[in-house]
Amino acid sequence: MVEVLKRLTEARGVSGNENEVREIVIELASETGAEVSVDRMGNVIARKPGKEGAKKVMLAAHMDEVGFIISSISENGMLKFQTIGSIDQRLLLSKRVLIGKNAVPGVIGVKAIHLQLPDERNQVVKQKQMFIDIGASSKEEAQKVVQLGDYASFDSSFVQFGDNKVKAKALDDRVGCSVLLEILKEDYDFEFIACFTTQEEVGLRGATVAAYHLDPDMAVVLEGTTCADIPDVPEHMMTTRMGRGPAISFMDNSSIANPKLFKQMVETAEAHGIPYQIKENIAGGNDAGTIQTARSGVATVVVSTPCRYIHSPSSMLDLEDYYNAVRLVKEFLKGCESH
């Protein structure tokens, strides 16, 4: 499981350009015996048939990550860029990135502090003041390796460290994809549809199309979610806590969990002795927001793995939370066979 998570997080897949991730997902999903297809939005859909007349259950995790797109090239060879998805601009300075299909290396830069006016030093540097330096000395030289519209992603390796912890980019939501691939190895009485969606970070776009097309009876969304159990954060604002198990959501900014599914997920965790937590604070949103309202409506519930420093090149999780997310959802789905 850890090796799958490593492969997924180190693959580049900014919203709208999920190709590298999609190829890995297709490969691994096909090995489970599922029927695998790709729709027009680039969603990967892996199906396992159930008994005749059985309900249709959709599990979803998004393949895309936040990142950048090249918007202009200056005469001196520096690249201007726009962000894709929600990124705190305070963390961008000096970060390494990889650009385009050839993974051209670059560094996000800004005017040196020695050249800044006193009042500039007391302000957050805005993204529009930044540029990506690829070591080119002119526009013509830069254009040999980078084009307008090229995607750029954080350059960050997967690292295991500390007490069973992992550092990587794109844990939101490659951890959900990894959990889903593990669950897809199982067979159930119901029709099981695993959907690896695109463009979640820019408006839940892939899931909107997939849910309308698939028209499931119920859905479980697998996510990586905010974890703020760090110094100087008030207890009620921590949202989740690392190492206390997967988080079950009753509500967020995009959806409200189906009460029966929420209760069933909690009862499943307690019955099988699986550590879990209720996600506090309703910040954020995910694919459940659009799946829930597809066609005549879909009963949904969200299970997330807590991740510190989300939407950054150095997000972090506890592997036990990851393993327990797999355990919880597997047991929940077994219970769905009898309902």
Please list the active-site residues. 200
Between CA 241 and CA 229 the distance in angstroms is: 5
Which of 129, 310, 270, 286 has its CA nearest to residue 220? 286
Residue 249's DSSP bridge partners are 302
Between CA 134 and CA 49 the distance in angstroms is: 49
Which of 45, 50, 38, 41 has its CA nearest to residue 193? 45
Between CA 276 and CA 265 the distance in angstroms is: 10
Q: What share of the chain is helix, strand, coil (3-state, %, to 5)?
A: 30, 25, 40
For tokens 């993204």, name the residue: 127
**Phi, psi values for residue 246, rounded to 5°:** -60, 155
Residue 227's DSSP bridge partners are none
Enumerate the H helices of 64-202 as residue ranges: 118-121, 139-143, 171-183
For tokens 């510190």, name the residue: 308
DSSP string, 94-130: T-EEEETTTTEEEEEE---GGGS-HHHHTSPPPGGG-
Bridge pairing between strands 104-109 and 96-99 = antiparallel
